[in-house]
């Protein structure tokens, strides 16, 4: 008996094709099923037999020696290939994948694949590139939209009495295309030669009724079998196959909708899933789901809306000559009826229902690198389930479980797996014990985990290895201090010694004050995590104090001769260093030297904040930028004065004197405007508290000549635009009311201070500030 072969040509990820394949297999009853897909997948196809492999899923193949060379073959519940695989395993039939092994695609051939080079050479020779077969068929049928045409003739049609008839019609159409040489490529020829070889192997194995599920375009090439020698000659030109591993990984509907990267280009996977899984007319049920979604988002949608939307979708389908209301008609009805014309509400329906956030599941027995298995173990123990839909996670680092979750997310970020990214907390807190994350699992993380497996077999071991490797390759000091911070956040005590050695070596050789200033804040931030995370940060304190000392010494000379962009960048550095030194406190030198006596020997009697203040005073006294030797931009001089004023190291009278000197006619208006910008950055309320400063500024601005006013106006607009809205309004009112040289009158409602009532609050304030351990007993009858 001659073996029979049923060629079932399908469109990948088409619900109509999937239903047709299910009907054809049930009618024809094959004894073997062959499916288009990488041949290595035969090793994992048995996992589809259980209930633990839930689509959407994907086959992931990667080169063993280089996991970054990877490829995906995604499958949804409505994919014809998945339906064929499920039919085979449910009926205990042999099932094989017959496409070219993925190892050929990963073979390095001058950086390109052999078939890609052949196609490029054809293009350079002036030959036409392969065209879209569906577009050609739709055009021949008089349709300008190939997607809509295919849906009308295939996806929206129910199987008839002869389940094989639609496949014969599709095969005839594809044969006509290929007879004209349309759409063919060198890659297709190689793949089809391998498929024919696998069909011959199935015949030799004794199978008599073989069902082949493949892309419709390949059917004519598989039907007309050339000689074995012909196919062997074609395949002889393939590069040497690379050893590849393959497994199943979870996939998402959202990733299926993306044509770029590792997507599949299915524009509406949620809609397709509904078409495949819904018996009868799918439109009413889908519109009911849309109504439920909109009601959950507080949109007023009733049952009457749904009824009218169904009528409208069906009417539009009739007017447009379609056999069934498709997605276009359904969404038009949703917009007009359910959303009342709102595109915002319609986008919600598109995102949640047309695309969706379905995430597949893979059994524990699926092949995986040890790092992936360790991650899965941690996800279970920490109750962090990967989900495709973004969600927020607030952590309290004082709790052991939350601290472990934080370490895991930071370690994964270090490994390039951005499952969680830091987010703004919904709980207002300035403490270091709280973290907020935005979690969203992406399918391609499987590749990054495979790549990271080179650093270790567990998440912690891999993160330590990656941190040490990154430190050894780092060339910027800021990169190393940021890595130190990451190591502390991730709890990588095993990596800190090596990273700190690299940091010390780099800091000793780096003389650029801007680099030192940029590196210091991350190091100081890392010190703040010691109390909550229980890390030993003695070495960090010494390194941070050393960097701070060098910044204090080198800051004034580093600010000489900067242009506008350089001055703006340096101002940001100065602000960051100022905050960092404030956090370090006066005992930083002692932590660096070992004790207070050594600190005095190393740095004198002054503390680090005092030396930083001295550096700011030196910067504030520098000449304007016009001086070639010692000129410093007004932006930086004004910023130094403001920081000294805020710290109480400069009184308001001295600040007013410096402002008066800067705004004098001897200074260039542009330099004066820069000084004012630096002085007012961070808050302009001091102009309200000290009207003399506002009067000086108003007087100077009124005296600026017309020829330079247009030059300083952008600077002043930028300065005042950065102030709080309430401050700007009050300043405008003060200037309009005038005069500005007198303090505002006290309101009539103000009363004299009552010392007795003020003293009553002191014990409570003392306890809040930690001065006294308890509130003293109040005398009986005291007026509080």
Say whether pLDDT at 691 is over 80.
Answer: no
Q: Which tops the pLDDT comparison, 508 or 99?
A: 99
Judge contact between 662 and 672, C-beta under 8 A.
yes
Strand partners, 247: 60
Please tell me the predicted confidence (pLDDT) of residue 412: 96
pLDDT classification of 33: cutoffs 50, 70, 90: very high
| Strand 95-99, strand 32-38: pairing | parallel
Question: How, if at all, do strands 57-63 and 70-75 pair?
Answer: antiparallel
pTM over 0.75: no
Specify the pLDDT at position 713.
Answer: 79
Amino acid 98: pLDDT: 95
Residue 496 near residue 482, CB atoms below 8 Å: no
Between strands 391-396 and 434-439, the pairing is antiparallel
Q: How many CB atoms lie within 10 A of CB 419?
A: 20
More confident residue, 716 or 43: 43
Query: Which residue in 639, 536, 491 sits closest to 578, CA to CA?
Result: 639
For 534, the token pair is 């229980």
Main-chain dihedrals φ then ψ at residue 61, nearest 5 degrees:
-120, 140
Which one-letter DSSP state was computed for residue 454? G
Report the distance separating Cα 681 and Cα 665, nearest Å: 23
Out of 388-392, 494-498, 662-666, which region has the weakest mean confidence (pLDDT)?
Answer: 662-666
Quote the mean pLDDT of the chain.
82
pLDDT value of position 784: 39
Length of the chain in residues, anyone? 784
Task: Indicate if the pLDDT at residue 195 is higher than 50.
Answer: yes
Rounded to 5, what percent of the chain is helix, strand, coil?
A: 60, 10, 35
Find tokens 């009552």 and name the residue. 754
Average pLDDT score over residue span 413-441: 82
Q: Between 130 and 79, name the one with better pLDDT.
A: 79
| Residue 297 pLDDT > 50 | yes
Torsion angle, CA of 127/132/138/140, rounded to 10 degrees? Answer: 20
Cβ neighbours of residue 471 closer than 8 Å, sequence gap 6 or more: 480, 483, 495, 498, 499, 502, 503
Statement: residue 192 has pLDDT above 90: yes
Q: Which residue has the higher pLDDT, 452 or 775?
A: 452
Least confident piece of the model among 121-125, 243-247, 684-688, 693-697? 121-125
C-alpha–C-alpha distance, residues 310 and 324, integer Å: 12
- In the predicted structure, residue 338 carries a pLDDT above the cut 80: yes
Q: Convert the pLDDT of each residue in 637-690 to its tens digit.
A: 888 988 898 888 888 788 888 877 887 777 787 888 888 888 888 777 777 777
Whether residue 230 is preceded by a cis peptide bond, meaning omega within 30 degrees of 0, is no
517-563, pLDDT tens digit by residue?
Answer: 888 888 787 776 554 444 556 667 777 888 888 888 888 888 888 88
Closest among 252, 326, 255, 339 to 286, alpha carbons compared:
326
57: β partners: 75, 250
pLDDT-derived band at 310, boundaries 50, 70, 90: very high
For 263-276, what is each residue's pLDDT tens digit?
Answer: 567 889 999 999 89
**Packing angle, helices 691-703 and 725-737, rounded to 10:** 70
Q: Does the pLDDT of residue 429 top 80, yes or no?
A: no
The residue behind tokens 């229902």 is 353
Classify strands 244-250 and 420-422 as parallel, antiparallel or unpaired: unpaired
CA dist list (Å): 746 to 162, 741, 743, 751: 95, 15, 9, 10
């Amino acid at each position: 008996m001659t073996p029979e072969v049923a060629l079932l040509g399908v469109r990948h990820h088409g619900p109509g094709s999937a239903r047709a394949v299910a009907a054809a297999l049930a009618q024809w009853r094959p004894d073997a099923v062959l499916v288009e897909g990488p041949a290595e997948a035969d090793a994992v196809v048995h996992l589809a037999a259980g209930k633990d492999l839930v689509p959407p899923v994907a086959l992931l193949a990667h080169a063993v020696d280089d996991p970054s060379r990877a490829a995906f073959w995604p499958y949804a519940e409505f994919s014809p290939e998945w339906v064929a695989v499920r039919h085979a395993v449910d009926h205990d039939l042999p099932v094989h994948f017959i496409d070219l092994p993925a190892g050929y695609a990963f073979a390095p051939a001058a950086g390109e694949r052999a078939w890609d080079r052949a196609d490029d050479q054809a293009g350079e020779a002036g030959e036409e590139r392969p065209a879209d077969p569906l577009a050609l068929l739709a055009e021949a049928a008089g349709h300008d939209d190939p997607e809509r045409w295919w849906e009308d003739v295939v996806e929206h049609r129910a199987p008839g009495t002869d389940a094989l008839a639609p496949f014969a019609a599709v095969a005839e159409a594809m044969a006509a295309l290929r007879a004209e040489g349309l759409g063919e490529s060198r890659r297709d020829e190689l793949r089809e030669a391998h498929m024919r070889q696998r069909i011959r192997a199935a015949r030799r194995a004794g199978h008599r009724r073989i069902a082949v599920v493949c892309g419709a375009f390949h059917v004519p090439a598989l039907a007309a079998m050339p000689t074995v020698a012909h196919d062997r000659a074609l395949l002889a030109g393939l590069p040497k196959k690379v050893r590849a591993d393959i497994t199943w990984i979870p996939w998402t509907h959202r990733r299926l909708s993306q044509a770029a990267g590792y997507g599949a280009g299915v524009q509406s996977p949620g809609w397709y899933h509904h078409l495949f899984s819904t018996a009868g007319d799918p439109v009413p049920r889908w519109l009911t789901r849309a109504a439920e979604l909109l009601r959950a988002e507080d949109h007023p949608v009733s049952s009457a809306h749904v009824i009218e939307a169904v009528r409208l979708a069906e009417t539009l389908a009739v007017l447009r000559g379609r056999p069934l209301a498709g997605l276009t008609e359904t969404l038009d009805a949703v917009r007009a009826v359910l959303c009342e014309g709102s595109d915002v509400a319609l986008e919600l329906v598109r995102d949640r229902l047309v695309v969706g956030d379905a995430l597949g599941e893979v059994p524990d027995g699926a092949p995986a690198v040890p790092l992936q298995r360790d991650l899965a173990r941690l996800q279970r123990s920490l109750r962090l389930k990967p989900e495709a839909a973004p969600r927020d996670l607030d952590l309290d680092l004082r709790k052991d479980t939350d601290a472990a979750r934080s370490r895991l997310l930071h370690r994964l970020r270090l490994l390039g797996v951005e499952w969680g990214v830091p987010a703004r907390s919904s709980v207002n807190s300035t403490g270091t014990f709280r973290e907020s994350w935005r979690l969203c699992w992406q399918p391609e993380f499987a590749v990054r985990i495979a790549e990271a497996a080179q650093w270790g077999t567990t998440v912690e071991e891999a993160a330590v290895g990656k941190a040490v490797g990154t430190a050894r390759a780092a060339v910027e000091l800021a990169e190393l201090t940021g890595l130190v911070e990451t190591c502390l956040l991730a709890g990588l005590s095993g990596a800190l010694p090596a990273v700190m050695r690299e940091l010390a070596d780099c800091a000793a050789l780096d003389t650029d004050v801007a680099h030192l200033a940029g590196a210091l804040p991350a190091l100081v931030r890392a010190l703040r995590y010691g109390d909550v995370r229980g890390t030993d940060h003695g070495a960090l304190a010494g390194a941070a104090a050393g960097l701070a000392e060098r910044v204090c010494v080198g800051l004034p000379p580093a600010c000489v001769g900067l242009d506008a962009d350089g001055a703006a960048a340096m101002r940001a550095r100065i602000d960051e260093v100022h905050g960092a030194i404030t956090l370090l406190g006066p005992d930083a030198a002692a932590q660096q030297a070992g004790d207070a006596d050594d600190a005095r020997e190393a740095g004198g009697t002054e503390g680090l904040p005092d030396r930083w203040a001295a550096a700011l005073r030196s910067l504030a006294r520098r000449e304007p930028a016009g001086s070639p030797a010692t000129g410093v931009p007004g932006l930086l001089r004004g910023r130094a004065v403001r920081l000294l004023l805020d710290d109480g190291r400069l009184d308001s009278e001295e600040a007013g004197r410096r402002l008066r000197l800067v705004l004098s006619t001897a200074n260039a208006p542009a330099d004066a405007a820069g000084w004012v910008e630096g002085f007012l950055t961070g808050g302009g309320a001091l102009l309200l508290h000290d009207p003399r400063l506002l009067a000086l500024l108003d007087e100077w601005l009124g005296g600026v000549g017309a020829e330079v006013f247009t030059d300083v106006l952008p600077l002043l607009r930028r300065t005042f635009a950065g102030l709080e809205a309430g401050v700007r309004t009050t300043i405008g009112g003060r200037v309009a009311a005038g005069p500005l040289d007198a303090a505002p009158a006290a309101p009539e409602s103000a009363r004299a201070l009552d010392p007795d009532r003020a003293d009553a609050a002191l014990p409570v304030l003392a306890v809040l500030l930690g001065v006294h351990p308890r509130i003293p007993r109040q005398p009986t009858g005291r007026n509080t």
